[in-house]
Structure 1
């Protein structure tokens, strides 16, 4: 192989690395930033919700919150101006509809429905696993995000510690979860970690045994590899209308 060919191959490989590690991050972060701005503009143009009488304010505590919606002859409300603990309408596929904030790692990212690469994850979004609960609802609100490239919102997920605060803001409410447990490594096929009562099917001592209001964050591990999954769990500790 000639020296010129070696140099050419080296330059091509270098350009590929730059594209993956810098350009994809730049593009995804710009798109995620535009989406965050669009959500905030949309929400600011709509009046704040009115909480029905009989629904007490939620005070943050160290224990999980179990929201109790006010009785209604019409059943659970699903529109703006209703109790924020009421069942939300299901977002459209790939629709960005919430904002995830994790102060510990300096993260603010849009949350979109689904975990497809092209429609959600590769755009720098955090993806909501379909068929898991929505934010603030009983069960498991499970999310996924890239750890490297394409915006890498979960790059520093391994830095989260028990007691760290995580908020999820929607059009109607702000939900606060508190980090409770983590699983440093499990197989991508370990579906138990996003079950309604999350518990690893592989490391059976990791997870929970009782129903609750859970948050699950998942990403690839180790860095620059998709061989395993890193999992962080939290519990709902507060909620308030926007």
Structure 2
């Protein structure tokens, strides 16, 4: 089976290094320990929103501790010899799994509109389930590309 990963996400604060694959299918991507890119979202370094999903618990639980991220922390994406560094800007501690606004090109919660951004830019979004050991809600961390 050829490796599905096309990039690597590094989160220095968490000591995390995890491969990134296309799609958020549980069986094919997330349950294999990858972080998955939401279909139709921007690529690393591009304008728009590079939006990722990862398990909080089990299957390598890459996003288990993203709740510990703080503004200013780095999210580094390495892809084909290029490095893109994003800086954590905002977090949304809890929203519904249907809150599609969080992965929109300009990310803003449609459930809690006070959370998110108002201008176009190059964003990264990390999403995972919350609370731990439940998939009831989503925890969201957003960052912006460091130019």
Q: 2: distance between equivalents of 1:221 and 1:147? A: 8
Q: 2: distance between equivalents of 1:172 and 1:157? A: 25
Match of 2:17 in 1: 108
Match of 1:147 in 2: 56
Q: Structure 1: which 4+ aligned runs deviate by more than 6 Å?
A: none
Match of 1:24 in 2: none
SS at match of 1:122: helix
Q: 2: distance between equivalents of 1:117 and 1:205? A: 30
Match of 2:108 in 1: 199
- The one-character-per-residue Cα deviations of 1:171-200 (angstroms, maximum 9, x if unpaired) are 141000000000000000000000000000
- The one-character-per-residue Cα deviations of 1:53-109 (angstroms, maximum 9, x if unpaired) are xxxxxxxxxxxxxxxxxxxxxxxxxxxxxxxxxxxxxxxxxx310000001111100
Q: CA RMSD in A?
A: 0.8
Q: 2: distance between equivalents of 1:118 and 1:151? A: 13
- 174, 179, 185: which one aligns with 2:88: 179
Match of 2:70 in 1: 161
Match of 1:118 in 2: 27
Q: 1: distance between equivalents of 2:134 and 2:13? A: 23
TM-score normalised over the length of structure 2: 0.97
Higher share in strand: 2
Higher share in helix: 1
Matched, 1:228 2:137: yes
For structure 1, list consecutive stretches of 5 or more residues without a partner in the other structure: 1-34, 36-94
- 31, 36, 39: which one aligns with 1:127: 36
- The one-character-per-residue Cα deviations of 1:105-144 (angstroms, maximum 9, x if unpaired) are 1110000000001110000000000100000000000000
Q: Which moved more, 1:165-174 or 1:191-200?
A: 165-174
Where relative contact order (Cα < 8 A, 6+ residues apart) is larger, the structure is 2
Length, aligned pairs only: 145
For structure 2, list consecutive stretches of 5 or more residues without a partner in the other structure: none
